[in-house]
Amino acid sequence: MTENSKNVEDNLGSGIACPLPLTDYKNVLLAHGGGGKLTHQLIHKIFLSQFQNKWLDSLHDGAILPMNGVRLAFTTDSYVIDPIFFPGGDIGQLAVNGTVNDLAMCGAKPLYLSAAFVIEEGLAMEELWRVVVSMQAAAKEAGVFLVTGDTKVVDRGKGDKLFINTSGIGVVAEKVNIDPKRAVVGDQIIVNGPIALHGIAIMSVREGIQFGTKIESDTAPLNGLVHRMLEVCSDIHVLRDPTRGGVASSLNEIAESANKGIMIVEDVIPIDEEVRGACEILGLDPLYVANEGKLLAFVPAEKAQAVLAAMRAHPQGKESVIIGEVVDDHRGKVLMRSRIGGSRVVDMLWGEQLPRIC
């Protein structure tokens, strides 16, 4: 018995050795939190290998739970973004919108949120207050209630100003069944507007770079938009908000879950000129840059135009566009047809482009 497994045994007191699964890393790296391949390895090898139950699904934004005849959606997210105030928003607004959106991506109507604060000693009361005011405004906009909370304070140098966890509860409407495994050949992939705004807004603050036009985070609640989309087509197959790791990582996760191929078209992917320019300066690929107010929808082909029209009529979806489709080829992989006609694999990143982006 190794020393390691013996420790675990002592700790459990169960007499059953439970050795650490083989991992390539002895220590957690920043990249393990980047939303790419390393995050997936960590989740699969460490968390999923222990927390096994039928409701746990690593590849969805939340769990769907039976509760007295309704299906409850339940999700959690910690927000560790640096800086806590940024162009277009702050950590409080992000924490509300992010969890509202995770519920919406399960096809649920978000209802109740919790808010748990881990505050570094010394945070200005004024800053905490601004964050709290912003959370309440975001909750009001999204139509949810912050119903329970927790506050912890850690010593100076053992945190970073403020971390917020929000967990959320919502109810999934009848007939709705959103699941990354449900992507089928022919599904049209819609995005609700220009990508990469959030990540570039954060990066510009961190690097102290001023672009011609001020680039702001796209943080926004998407539950209203999703509600409208499901009214038009209750059989939307997949919804996903491409946050950490961007559009490329989300599409790869879905391709892998469904074991289908995905083909996207470079020319039609909406990217603002300023963002494209900033990405070139910073050496970033916009497909991997985080979004906060964007969603990817996989819609049955015959309903795609109707859903697209409904999205364009909604404030959060004015610039919606079909960027690709599900194909019966290169299963589990995402390909992009380029401007000059060829196509290339859009792989999942190993680590992260931008740490602590949400």
Residue 19 or residue 313: which is nearer to a copy of itself going by CB?
19
Q: Provide the minimum distance between the beta carbon of 52 and a copy of itself in the complex, in angstroms, as a whole number.
A: 8
- From 22-30, 184-192, 255-263, 265-273, span contacting a copy of itself (CB under 8 A): 22-30
Is residue 96 within 8 A of residue 135, CB to CB? The reply is yes
With binding defined as CB under 8 A, does residue 96 bind a copy of itself? no
With binding defined as CB under 8 A, does residue 282 bind a copy of itself? no
With binding defined as CB under 8 A, does residue 15 bind a copy of itself? no
Using only the alpha carbons of the chain, give its radius of gyration. 21
* Joined tokens for residue 78: 């910690």
CA angle 321, 109, 150 (to 5 degrees): 115
Q: How many residues bind a copy of itself (CB under 8 A)?
A: 95
Q: How far apart are CA 356 and CA 94, in angstroms?
A: 13
Which residues on adjacent β-strands are paired with residue 334? 262
Quickly count: other Cβ atoms within 10 Å of residue 184's Cβ.
Answer: 15
Task: Among 6, 15, 36, 46, indicate the residue that binds a copy of itself (CB under 8 A).
Answer: 46
Residue 52 or residue 210: which is nearer to a copy of itself going by CB?
52
With binding defined as CB under 8 A, does residue 78 bind a copy of itself? yes
- Cα(first)–Cα(last) distance of the chain, in Å? 41
- From 43-51, 208-216, 225-233, 268-276, span contacting a copy of itself (CB under 8 A): 43-51
Residue 32 or residue 333: which is nearer to a copy of itself going by CB?
32
Q: Which is it for the CA torsion 149, 155, 159, 160, positive or negative?
A: positive
Q: How far apart are CA 196 and CA 205, in angstroms?
A: 15
Placement of tokens 């290998």 in the chain? 49
Task: Among 6, 83, 149, 285, indicate the residue that binds a copy of itself (CB under 8 A).
Answer: 149
Task: Among 59, 128, 265, 327, indicate the residue that binds a copy of itself (CB under 8 A).
Answer: 128
Residue 129 or residue 338: which is nearer to a copy of itself going by CB?
129
Residue 31 or residue 284: which is nearer to a copy of itself going by CB?
31
Q: How far apart are CA 334 and CA 151, in angstroms?
A: 42
Burial of 108 (0-12, 13-18, 19+ CB in 10 A): buried
Q: Provide the minimum distance between the beta carbon of 289 and a copy of itself in the complex, in angstroms, as a whole number.
A: 18
Placement of tokens 């020319």 in the chain? 267
With binding defined as CB under 8 A, does residue 133 bind a copy of itself? yes
Residue 172 or residue 310: which is nearer to a copy of itself going by CB?
172
Burial of 225 (0-12, 13-18, 19+ CB in 10 A): buried
With binding defined as CB under 8 A, does residue 167 bind a copy of itself? yes
Per CB under 8 A, which of residues 23..42 are in contact with a copy of itself?
Answer: 23, 25-34, 39, 42
